[in-house]
Amino acid sequence: MLQAYASPLERTWFYAHRVIAGLILLFLILPILVIVPLSFNSDSFLMYPMAGASLRWYEEIIGSDVWRNALLNSLIVSPAATLLAVVLGTLASIGLVRSDFPGKALLTAILISPMVVPVVIVGVAMYLFFAPLGLAGSYTGLILAHAVLGVPFVITTVTATLQGFDYNLVRAAASLGANPVLTFFRVTLPLVAPGIVSGGLFAFATSFDEVVVTLFLASPGQATLPRQMFAGIRENISPAIAAVATILIVLSTLMLLTLEWLRQRSEKLRTGKSR
């Protein structure tokens, strides 16, 4: 905050900093703001000024078998991969947080390493490994691969939540006569659930945006939404791409708002006061 006794130089710097930060925020948000209006363009050019407003590109993608199929594939693969990542990741996080053994740090680093291994290497390795097993070009292979990529996000969010979990609350519930099952559902789960849901959202977003591993593993008929966008951008970038992009932006905004809501809710629960 600017103090009342700040010198003119400090004042200048204070406002300059705000302007610079504002420009950086503009840089971050501009690409998202720019593409949304273009999806309503009546013209077939992705350029401003727009010729007029229409919904023709939305009609086109809704009527297109290719895009419908891509959406269907994404809706098969991503939820399944998320479920797998959340179940395995949550169990492992509980084990990691509540225990201490030699090599725990190393094991944790290995479990979250899919986040840092270059994704092309993951794609090539899985392709060469899955192909002889008949898993390349199968939904099973894609789901397994996407789950691997989502696991690190589940682990980091769930362990962070569990580390902040006050174990005295469980003891308090037990001392007040609640049985373990009741304690779990009435005390532990409400406090930990936001972390698990956030982890799940991260895993879902990872899978829903995954294109590189999909490029290697998916058969032509299994192109997911991002895979189809990749092809679209590469071949001929049209307002139809902008329409898909707009739908994806709406979806990611919803996910982000859910996440923020969860975060604030869990903070409120934990500190016992509203902000």
- Closer residue to other proteins (CB): 18 or 68: 18
Rule CB under 8 A: is residue 145 a binding residue for other proteins?
yes
Per CB under 8 A, the list member of 50, 71, 169, 170 interacting with other proteins is: 170
Q: Rule CB under 8 A: is residue 218 a binding residue for other proteins? A: no
Q: How far apart (Å, rounded) are the C-alpha atoms in residues 152 and 159?
A: 11
CA-CA-CA-CA dihedral for 247, 249, 254, 257, to nearest 10: -170
- Residue 151 sits in the site that holds other proteins (CB under 8 A): yes
- Judged by CB under 8 A, does residue 103 bind other proteins? no
Rounded to a whole number of angstroms, the minimum distance from the CB of residue 117 to other proteins is 7
Angle at 254 between CA 272 and CA 85, to 5 degrees: 80
Does residue 157 bind other proteins (CB under 8 A)?
yes
Task: Please identify which residue in 71, 248, 262, 265 interacts with other proteins, judged by CB under 8 A.
Answer: 248
Token readout for 108 is 């944790």
Chain position carrying tokens 């199929």: 69
**One residue of 50, 71, 76, 174 binding other proteins per CB under 8 A:** 174
φ, ψ dihedrals at 152, nearest 5°: -60, -35
Per CB under 8 A, does 169 bind other proteins?
Answer: no
Q: What token pair was written down for 82? A: 């998320």
- The angle that helices 8-38 and 239-271 make with each other, rounded to 10 degrees, is 130
Span near other proteins by CB under 8 A; candidates 58-66, 75-83, 205-213: 205-213
Cis previous bond, 49, omega within 30: yes
**Which of 180, 219, 268, 269: binder of other proteins (CB under 8 A)?**
180
Applying the rule CB under 8 A, the residues between 41 and 100 that interact with other proteins are: 46-48, 88-89, 91-92, 94-96, 98-99
- H/E stretch holding 159: helix 139-163
> Hey, which residues between 11 and 30 contact other proteins (CB under 8 A)?
13, 17-18, 20-21, 24-25, 27-30
